[in-house]
Amino acid sequence: MAAPEEAMPQQQGLILQRGQAELLLHKLDDRLTVAFRDPDVDLLEIVPGLMYRPLPLLHKDFLMQEVIVPPEDLEMVLDSARASEEILFASHVYQLAYSIDSFVYLTNQMTLQFENSLSNNEHVGFGDRHNLKLIRPIVGLENTYLYELTKDSTANPIKLANQLRVLPGINLAEANVILPQESLGVPSVIPSDPLFQEQWYLHSPDLDSPELPQGIDAVGAWEITKGDRSVVVAIADDSIDLDHPDFQGEGKIVAPYDFGDNDFLPNPDHDQESHGTACAGLAIAEETGTGIVGVAPDCALMPLKTTGYLDDDSIEAIFTWAVNKGADVISCSWNAAAVHFPLSLRQSAAIHYAATEGRDGKGCVIVFAAGNANRPLDGTIYERGWHNKMLYGPTAWLNGYATHPDVIAVGACTSNNLKAIYSNWGSELSVCAPSNNAAPGMWFAEHGYLPTAPEIQDELAGATILSTDALGDLGYGQGHFTRDFGGTSSACPLVAGVAALVLSANPMLSALEVKEIIENSAEKIIDPRRDRQLGLQLGTYNAQGHSRWFGYGKVNAKAAVQIASTQFVDVEDPQFSAEETNDLEMDIPDDSTAGVTSLVAFEDVGVIKDVAVQVRSPTNT
């Protein structure tokens, strides 16, 4: 792909900058987005006689609608909308070139990172020269600012980012775009057993009876702790039903928020918002004696209802709120609805900020689901057999959230300690946790949940997952509980619950130490079989104890809590920090496990608690 400075002018609006990656876009000819100053304004008042279908998009600062129009009317409608004082901005809608059902919506914001040599006055003057309004600095990033396009801006934010990125003094320019959020749940069959007995995933593994469902030994961990109300687990998802009986109890709910409606009631509004309630139950459902119980039942719940879109503002808002309101663990069972999508600079920084600055500098433990397509978290697969050739040929897959170095990426195994067929995999996977078994698939905006090709014809062995459900008609089914839940969506909050137990046993641990404990205490389950879809055999472990299918193994709650409550209990805060650097320039080879060595000398003497390493390219990016 051509770099921005080499791109023809007509291509500049079709290259999306994300971190250090460039993504090719296709412009759609039958839809646009408009952002209204006044929510009561109708587009028909601006373009009379227009035949269109509005689809609402939520944003915290303005009402934004996706408008589907006949292709021959698109440019006329765009021109009319942009000329109206009632409309903040109007934009084309795009698709990712290699993920043709992943829609990309533009906002009127962009992020600029300047070189250290530029003064603050030059930052302000830069915005004035390019008709950009300075909004604020980006927390945790030096010389990085959020700007807003104005009516006088000469290009859309994607094209403008490409134009600005090549100017002297600019390290990075990124448009803030919105992508639909993909919930990572997979349906399963519905059994009918008593509630707690159905929660096999919490029970102790019985290695002498491999035919029985094998759990994570939360019951064993409860001998040490069932959690503590001071430890708060944030569940960021489509909604959480605050009225559910298993979320009741003194001090159970902490700092709830709905980022779509900007209020404190993250309850479901319709029957497609049950996912978060099920995730929350697996992590922290209260022990009431009438329903189910979560991994960490005595911990508190911070229920956060997302907008359903993954623009920079939304991600910043989620993690900033969680940090400011005292979350200890943040559980995210979702991903961008895209085959290949790296994080923007702001999104990556927001996660890093929470993982390092949360909990008064000890860091929030951030847990992400790996996804359900049976594809690598970061890698290329030769695709064929997809519906309508939706994917074909060498296809690069990337889950920017699960591959972020500060998170715990969670895959799924079955009740019999084998790989869940759908579970995504790779060297970035931290651990796995029990879930159901089902055919691989991925969410596409226009077509729903589609199976990945080729389809799995064999019987899918494995027990199913029981959790809390949104009440009444808004749930997956009638009643307060669902047996129709699974995927890496259910594996993720189980690990989040274990992290909460670990912090309940030892609240002095850093987020990095919690991650290391969970990985080091994991059970080394093995799956020697060949994958029935891709033909791979990745169910064993390398010399470093890592499996591409299972990470460092299946999470074990009892073992993790035992380590936390003994080995690390006397760790003191660091008495000093030391920083050294070298200026050696070295080539880092791709796809090499050997890597390179660059020595840095320290003269200080003491016990090492944490080590942080930063590598800069010659261009300081």
Show the beta-strand stretches assigned E in 150-211.
170-178, 181-183
Containing 448, the helix (H) or strand (E) segment is strand 448-451
Token pair listed for 333: 């069972």
- The DSSP H or E segment spanning 106 is strand 99-114
The domain 216-506+549-566 having CATH identifier 1.10.3210.10: the answer here is no
Altogether, the residues listed in the chain come to a count of 621
Tokens standing for residue 422: 């759908």
How confident is residue 4, by pLDDT bands cut at 50, 70 and 90? very low
Structural contact between residues 447 and 441, judged by C-beta atoms closer than 8 angstroms:
no
- DSSP three-state, residue 68: strand
Whether the Cβ atoms of residue 369 and residue 410 lie closer than 8 Å to each other: yes
Return d(Cα 416, Cα 460) in angstroms, integer: 12
Percent pLDDT > 90 in the chain is 54
* Helix or strand holding residue 517 (H, E): helix 511-520
Task: Detail the DSSP E strand segments found in 452-518.
Answer: 465-468, 481-485
Helices 487-505, 557-566: inter-axial angle, 10-degree rounding: 20
How do residues 231-256 score in pLDDT, each as one tens digit? 999 999 999 999 999 999 999 999 99
For 570-579, write each residue's pLDDT tens digit: 445 556 677 8
Q: Is the pLDDT of residue 503 over 90?
A: yes
Reference 574, options 553, 602, 604, 550; nearest CA is 604
Cα atoms found within 13 Å of the Cα of residue 495, Cβ hemisphere only:
42
Which residues have C-beta within 8 Å of that of residue 528, sequence separation ≥ 6? 537, 539, 540
The tens digit of pLDDT for each residue in 581-613 reads 887 787 888 766 667 788 877 777 665 666 777
Which among 9-23, 125-139, 149-163, 319-333 has the top mean pLDDT?
A: 319-333
The mean pLDDT value of the chain amounts to: 86
CA separation for the pair 156, 433 (Å, rounded): 43
| Rounded-to-integer distance, Cα 114 and Cα 354, Å | 23
8 A C-beta contact, residue 507 and residue 492:
no
Candidates 385, 436, 378, 379; CA nearest to 404 is 378
Give SS3 for 351: helix
Residue 608's pLDDT is: 67
- Contact by Cβ (8 Å): 231, 504: yes
Question: Which segments of 285-390 does DSSP mark as H helices, in order?
Answer: 312-324, 345-357
Q: What is the DSSP letter of 202?
A: G
Closest CA to 57 of 15, 88, 27: 88
Q: What is the pLDDT of residues 362-394, one digit of tens each?
A: 999 999 999 999 999 999 999 988 888 888 899
- Both structure tokens of 575: 């008495």
Please give the single-letter amino acid code of residue 269: D
- Give the per-residue pLDDT at 61: 67
Are the C-beta atoms of 434 and 414 separated by less than 8 Å? yes
93-121 pLDDT, tens per residue?
Answer: 998 876 666 789 999 999 999 988 777 66
Burial call 17-55: b when 16+ CB within 10 Å, e when fewer: bbbebbbebeebeebbbbbbeeeeeebeebbeeeebeee
Residue-wise over 129-167: b if at least 16 C-beta within 10 A, else e? ebebeeeeebeebebbbbbbbeeebebbbbbbbbbbbee
Q: Where in the chain is the domain with CATH 3.40.50.200?
A: 216-506+549-566
The residue to which tokens 């929030």 are assigned: 364
Calculate ∠ Cα 420-563-351, nearest 5°: 60
With cut-offs at 50, 70 and 90, classify the pLDDT of residue 188.
very low
The predicted pLDDT at position 591 comes to 66
Paired residues of 393 in beta bridges: 383
Q: Is the pLDDT of residue 152 over 90?
A: no
pLDDT confidence of residue 593: 62
Candidates 12, 164, 10, 178; CA nearest to 89 is 178
* Side-chain half-sphere CA neighbours of 479 within 13 A: 12
pLDDT in tens, 210-220: 778 899 999 99
Question: Are the C-beta atoms of 339 and 99 separated by less than 8 Å?
Answer: yes
Residue type, 323: V
* Structure-model confidence comparison of residues 463 and 348, the more confident one: 348
Cβ pair 369, 517 in contact under 8 A = no
3-state secondary structure of 231: coil
At residue 569, the pLDDT reads 42
